[in-house]
Amino acid sequence: MKIGLTYNLKDEVSPLSIMNNEFNEEFDSRKTIDALSLIFEKYGFKTAMLGARLDMADRLKKEKIDFVFNIAEGYYGRNRESFVPSVLEAFNIPYSGSDPLTLGMTLDKIVTKKLLHAAKIPTPAYYVVRKIEDIKDAEDRLEYPVITKPAWEGSSKGVYNSSKALDKHGLKKNIKILFKKYPNQPVLVEEYIKGREITVGVIGNEFPKVMALMEIVNKKHPGEDFFYSLEVKRDWENLVDYESPPRIHNVLETQIRRFALMAYREFGCRDVSRIDFRISEYNDPYLLEINPLPGLSPEYGDLAIMARKNKIAYEELVISILNSAFSRYGIREVKKKSVEAMGS
Ligand SMILES: Nc1ncnc2c1ncn2[C@@H]1O[C@H](COP(=O)(O)OP(=O)(O)OP(=O)(O)O)[C@@H](O)[C@H]1O
Ligand SMILES: [Mg+2]
């Protein structure tokens, strides 16, 4: 059986990556692709590096790919993550991870928040500024502080240490910065949830399991207000401690697990996702967003760090995702102790 890998590489050079130094932020390092293909080869699969460019379609036909392990983030617009799975569906080739619709719904944080509301899953209060001319409507609609984010980015693109605004002057300044950096994209203005941050790994399909919870902790100034900005993610080794399992009350943990699984099902996530929460000072959890294409770097991917902290080998994590996907297609699963024994 031949597994094709679809991905985008951080060191790809394009006019946009030269103009916008955040363009490649979500992409993967060669090390991650190598680590994944090494694992697949260890289990007896042939592998093919397909990337995520348009020539991928020709190669899918020529190389007789049986299954695709997809981690491609895509290039442009809010459907960029949906591109590879859409092509794979057109060719009727089985692949890992969520389908194009789930990837589109979750990449667009505005759509995500509407569906979270409909499902009665708590998420921070928000409004949307769709174009720079509407900036005048952006005053004092929420209690400060508020945080601004581009509507459909990931890896904290457009989320800077300065993105938290304490008043309308700061807010307007931040909105202007985002329209400049991401000109054709609405700005999401959200109530800033002061408190702790917890991310949740979920694996599976019909009966998804919580792999673990992990707290993102301020390493330099423990206990001081802090958020997972672009600057912090880029310097994670110096600025972040990861605590998994986090030290939280049982009741809160049960709530977070329940909301994570509700969201996973509600959005039709498949095989794997990482779901981000902030916990208010009153211990109320708020779901920020759902990541059905979580970074899988063995070194710095949050899911891999979470696995490591819970004594789950990287290989076991990857094979669990693969097996989840195989089971959806009736492909014989790889024999390996999986993370299914964990959590509920
Ligand atoms: N409403 C909020 N209140 C407090 N902090 C927030 C809020 N929204 C976002 N943040 C902070 O900004 C970070 C990035 O935001 P978010 O997770 O929404 O963006 P992302 O770029 O899609 O992230 P990812 O890398 O997980 O794809 C969060 O991890 C959190 O630390
Ligand atoms: Mg996030």
Domains belonging to the chain, first-starting first, are: 2-95 (3.40.50), 125-191 (3.30.1490.20), 195-341 (3.30.470.20)
Q: Report which protein residue has its CA nearest ligand 1's atom 7.
A: 192
pLDDT at residue 339 in the model: 52
Task: Indicate the pTM of the whole model.
Answer: 0.95
Is 193's C-beta closer than 6 angstroms to any atom of ligand 1? yes
Please, which residues bridge with residue 279 across strands?
A: 196, 285
Is 147's C-beta closer than 6 angstroms to any atom of ligand 1? yes
**Tens digit of pLDDT for each residue in 213-257?**
999 999 999 989 999 999 999 999 999 999 999 999 999 999 999
Q: What is the mean pLDDT of the chain?
A: 95
Q: Tell me how long the chain is.
A: 344
The kind and range of the H/E element at 225 are none
Phi-psi region of 228 (alpha: psi -120 to 50; beta: other; left: phi over 0): beta
Tokens of 241: 């401690």
pLDDT at residue 344 in the model: 38
Q: Report which protein residue has its CA nearest ligand 1's atom 20.
A: 154
- Rounded CA-CA distance 198/236 in Å is 15
pLDDT at residue 140 in the model: 82
- Rounded CA-CA distance 201/309 in Å is 12
Q: Report which protein residue has its CA nearest ligand 1's atom 26.
A: 155
Is 215's C-beta closer than 6 angstroms to any atom of ligand 1? no
Low pLDDT (below 50) residues in the chain: 341-344
Question: Mind giving me the DSSP string for 114-178?
Answer: HHHHHTT-----EEEE-SGGGGGGGSSSSPSPEEEEETT--TTTT--GGGEESSHHHHHHHHHHH
- Rounded CA-CA distance 46/40 in Å is 7
pLDDT at residue 337 in the model: 52
